[in-house]
Chains A and B, each alone.
Chain A
Amino acid sequence: MELSSIILPLELSLRVAGLATLFSFLFAMLLAFLLARKSGPIPAVIDALCTLPLVLPPTVIGYYLIIVLGRRGILGHALSELGINIIFSLKGAVIAATLVIFPLIYKSARAALEQVDQRLENAARTLGASELRVFLTISLPLASKGIIAGLILAFARGMGEFGATLMVAGNIPGKTQTLSLAIYAAFQAGDDATATLLVIITSFLCIFLLLTAEIILKLSAYLRKTK
């Protein structure tokens, strides 16, 4: 067993999950701001669409991504003219993971933002604050605990992404082979020692992340009570 067969997938997983969490977060915040406390058919449809990656099999998401981003895809064709290739690259893995974890971040952010006392937001409005300022200086800080907990969950889910990543980015060691792909590859090759070690590392990492999320949520509940 080589050390690189452990380190490389771990590093790739962290990179993919980190970048995917960041992109998902920014997009989720933008959407949450635009749809904040709005009702009607359009926000409802968008809300449902944003939840879709949670229920669709990852392979279906992968398939859609190949249709859009593949060399003969609608966007992929234009991108490959520019010399940008997404399929079978780390970019593809990041995009796949971003899509898969988006609902986790978006849903928890929406829930946390809706918990924020509307009177505080109204108070800020009467004090001359624009909607963007209300969102960034009142709503977001007060919802931050819930949002951070959602981010951690999403990061953990992103680390374990398998189906969509496999279809879009393939399983190239050192390039797109993340932890879960490396486990599958090692198991298929009969390299049980590597597989076991990767499984243990993945498990501990996820347990650690879940505990952190739990502690943050408990802490925020406790702080709210003492207030």
Chain B
Amino acid sequence: MIQLRIAKRFGQGQRAFRLHVDFSLASEPQFAILFGASGSGKTLTLHCLAGLTKPDTGFLVVDDRVLFDSQHKICLPARARQIGYMFQDYALFPHLTVLQNVCYSQSHFFPTSIAKRERERCMELLQQLAIAHLEKRLPHELSGGQRQRVALARALYAKPKLLLLDEPFSALDPLLRGQLRHELKSILRQLELPTVIITHDPDDVDCFSGQIVLYAKGQARVIHDYAAKRAAHSTTTQCLLTLLADDIQSIDKPARSH
């Protein structure tokens, strides 16, 4: 489903951050989880996938479609990639109503004018997500959970081929998190939409049980036998911590020998 090999460098000298990731994800299972500490390059990877940041070198292929290839000078703009992106704090357009937010990817240029057909399709989607009654509200009038659904609806309305979720639950009340996690999972299951999820919450890893990509200091590796490794530990947190510690050691070793 996703083949990815990218390098991106920010800053100079001691303070430089270098992202260097090379992995591929299968189309089954549906979910892939990028797990790791903040600042390890997870969001940057999603930005590169979505076309919001241009990698220095490498390539990106999603479903046999080349999105980026530095050798052949291919770089599709974000608008042409058909990748849905749900931002950490949802990034709803504050000056537009829920309906106008969700319909933003429509054919009309101005979001305030919505064709009847688009409106009907949008209302159907809002009903599916049980937020149809919020149609005319502005984002600041919504609760955290409602905002998340509007953001999801907005991303889904554009009919993406791949969905990226950047810490989908971190902006929510902890008590709401558990419930919304299972709801989101069942919605995405129904849609059969391949989804990449960023998180540093072990509960998310448990819930979305899919392919795990471990991030540490700008590097990443896919954990192929996660289920077996998980079984060897009593809790998910312990298992992930052990795996991460291995990674950090292996990254630091060659650095020390310099």
Contact = CB atoms under 8 A, between A and B. Distances in A.
Interface of A: 117, 119-120, 122-130, 133, 136-138, 141-142, 226-227
Size category of the binding interface on chain B: 20 to 34
Contacts of A124: 93, 104
A17 B154 CA distance: 43
A170 B94 CA distance: 48
B91 A122 contact: yes
B114 interface: no
Contacts of A142: 94-95
Nearest to A141: B95
12 contacts: A119-B91, A122-B52, A122-B78, A122-B85, A123-B87, A125-B78, A126-B83, A126-B155, A128-B79, A128-B80, A136-B110, A137-B109
A46 to B, nearest CB: 23
Nearest to A123: B91
Interface string B68-87: 00000000011111011101
A138 B52 contact: no
Contacts of B89: 119
B50 A126 contact: yes
A127 B105 contact: yes
Contact of B85 (A117, A120, A126, A129): A126
A138 B93 contact: yes
Contact of A127 (B94, B109, B110, B158): B158
A227 B94 contact: yes
B140 interface: yes
Contact of B91 (A120, A129, A133): A120
Interface of B: 50-52, 77-81, 83-85, 87, 89, 91, 93-95, 104-105, 109-111, 140, 154-155, 158
B52 A133 contact: no
The 9 closest A-B pairs by CB, nearest first: A125-B78, A127-B105, A126-B85, A227-B140, A123-B91, A119-B91, A128-B79, A122-B52, A128-B105
Given A141-B95, A142-B94, A128 B87 contact: no
A120 B90 CA distance: 9
Contacts of B85: 122-123, 126
A11 B194 CA distance: 64
A227 B80 CA distance: 32
B104 A126 contact: no
B104 A127 contact: yes
B144 to A, nearest CB: 14
Given A126-B52, A126-B85, A120 B79 contact: no
Contacts of A138: 93
Given A124-B93, A128-B105, A138-B93, 5 more contacts: A120-B93, A122-B91, A126-B81, A126-B158, A226-B140
Contacts of B77: 125
Nearest to B138: A227
A129 B104 contact: yes
A133 B93 contact: no
Contact of A129 (B79, B83, B84, B154): B79
A136 B109 CA distance: 9
A225 to B, nearest CB: 11
A139 to B, nearest CB: 11
A160 to B, nearest CB: 34
Contacts of A123: 85, 87, 91, 93, 154
Find the residue from B81, B95, B110, B155 having the highest chain A CB count within 10 A.
B95
A137 B103 CA distance: 13
Contacts of A137: 109-111
B171 to A, nearest CB: 12
Contacts of A227: 94, 140
Find the residue from B80, B87, B110 having the highest chain A CB count within 10 A.
B87
A127 B91 contact: no
B177 to A, nearest CB: 21
A151 to B, nearest CB: 19
A122 B104 CA distance: 13
A128 B158 contact: yes
A13 B87 CA distance: 49
Nearest to B102: A127
A227 B89 CA distance: 14
B142 to A, nearest CB: 11
A122 B85 CA distance: 9
Contacts of A127: 79, 104-105, 154-155, 158
A141 B93 CA distance: 10
